[in-house]
Amino acid sequence: MSAIETPSAELEPFLAQLSSAIAAKQLHKLVLSKYQGPQPLKQLQIRPVELKQQWQLSFTYKYQTNDVTRNFSPEQAIAEIKTLLGEQFYAANLFTAALEAQLSISKKGKVLYQQKRLTAPVAPQQDSSHNRQKQRYLTLERPFLQQLGVTDAQQQLIPAMSRKWKQINKFIEIFSGAVQDTGLSKQKQLHVADFGSGKAYLTFAMHDYLTGTLGLDAKVTGVELRQNLVDLCNETAAKLGLNGIDFEQGDVKHFKARGINVMIALHACDIATDYAIHMGIATGADIIMCSPCCHKQIRPQMKMPAVLAPMLVHGIHLGQEAEMVTDSLRALLLEASGYNTKVFEFVSLEHTSKNKMILATKSKQKYNRENLLKQVAEIKQFYGIEQHYLERLLNITDEIS
């Protein structure tokens, strides 16, 4: 017997919507929350997954300290959800190709159900296949790919660009998940800044995804040091007749940004990544996404802890250690600034050596800033590091030491 008496008939419209999305393989994600049961469970996330050519639903039970995953057939999944909703979980958020729906059950058992039809179909958040059948978030027919030399006049992939094509798709896959998770897909207008945009493959891809696939009114600004690339990219945008994308020449260091929802910096050199992260935090961006490169700032400061000296005497190890320490401190400083932060492999090493991604999304939950800054201080002390550049930009040296 549940603590809250929920008339099951009132859940029917939601369950019917869910069942038809599952039957049509249109489910992107279902999140059950407001758990009231005996376990230290926070949330249950359900996503489609393809296992051995079978479409299944993967349930991730998110506990306080760990996640547990179980896979169900569509029928089992629906039965399981019916048991849980209104008995243990009292809120649900449903994302399908056609709509987004919210259900909540009050303490008195009153059911509130709202749904919003999407005007543009939304691509699934993540590749549901475990069989390496990659779903592409963009198609080769997109005109910008031809302009940038990824495809030829027949819209066929140019073989030499296949790595770049994989990278673009992976980037959009990660980006689309973050856009959904932060709720930015519901925002009418979005402003994205791409620091160190270079030849702007990813800048154009992001603009195409936001405006084309999601149908949003997005303004995308690329900031780049090299004037020739800025001119080239602005010419490309003009040739494609795109309005919401432009490129500015400048150093990230001096860029004055306001009202930015998404800040990305992919392979921006050394402390340009710190400037970009700082800019993202300072402007209150919901998503900060960077793939750092050339970790020069920390390495000369690192004093080898005695026990690690036999390992770090090898230059390659010291370089790897400096990279890990630099990015770990960035992740901790992002969390201390109120961001959920993940560090993971962006594209596999066979495609590029610059393969790490730091993805930070603004969190509603409060992080223990004091504790995180203490962890930063301890790591710095262990390696004898005087100062991390992001820490300096955030002006929190006094808090840390």
Ligand X SMILES: C[S@@+](CC[C@H](N)C(=O)[O-])C[C@H]1O[C@@H](n2cnc3c(N)ncnc32)[C@H](O)[C@@H]1O
- Where does residue 31 fall: left (phi above 0), alpha (psi -120 to 50 degrees), or beta otherwise? beta
Sign of the C-alpha dihedral computed for residues 149, 150, 155 and 156 taken in this order: positive
For 47, 94, 137, 260, the CA distances from 196, given in Å and listed in that order, are: 34, 36, 23, 16
CB of 390 to ligand X, least distance (A): 14
In the bound state with ligand X, the residue whose beta carbon lies nearer, of 226 and 317, is 226
| Least gap, CB of 294 to ligand X (angstroms) | 9
The amino acid at 61: Y
Nearest distance from residue 5's CB to ligand X, in Å?
Answer: 55
Nearer to ligand X, 201 or 209 (CB): 201
Min dist CB 387 to ligand X, Å, is 19
Give alpha helix (H) positions in 24-150: 74-84, 143-147
Closer to ligand X by Cβ: residue 294 or 343: 294
Q: Which is nearer to ligand X, 172 or 252 (CB)?
A: 252
CB nearer ligand X, residue 168 or residue 385: 168
Minimum gap (Å) between residue 202 Cβ and ligand X: 6
Nearer to ligand X, 46 or 347 (CB): 347
Nearer to ligand X, 223 or 336 (CB): 223
**Least spacing, CB of residue 270 vs ligand X, in Å:** 8
Q: How far is the CB of 85 from ligand X (least distance, A)?
A: 43
User: How is the beta sheet containing 27-35 ordered, strand by strand?
Assistant: 67-72, 54-63, 41-51, 27-35, 89-96, 99-105, 111-117
C-alpha–C-alpha distance, residues 65 and 56, integer Å: 26
Strand partners, 249: 224
Return the residue nearest ligand X (CB atom): 198
Q: Which residues contact 252 (CB under 8 A, 6 or more apart)?
A: 195, 196, 223, 265, 268, 272, 275, 276, 279
Whole-angstrom Cα distance, residue 303 to residue 12? 63
Distance CA 289, CA 274 (A): 12
Q: Which residues bind ligand X (CB under 6 A)?
A: 195-198, 201-202, 223-226, 229, 251-253, 266-269, 272
Do residues 2 and 103 touch, judged by C-beta distance below 8 A?
Answer: no
Q: Residue type at 165?
A: W
Q: Which is nearer to ligand X, 268 or 359 (CB)?
A: 268
Decide: 135 and 147 in contact? Cβ < 8 Å: no
Q: How far is the CB of 201 from ligand X (least distance, A)?
A: 5
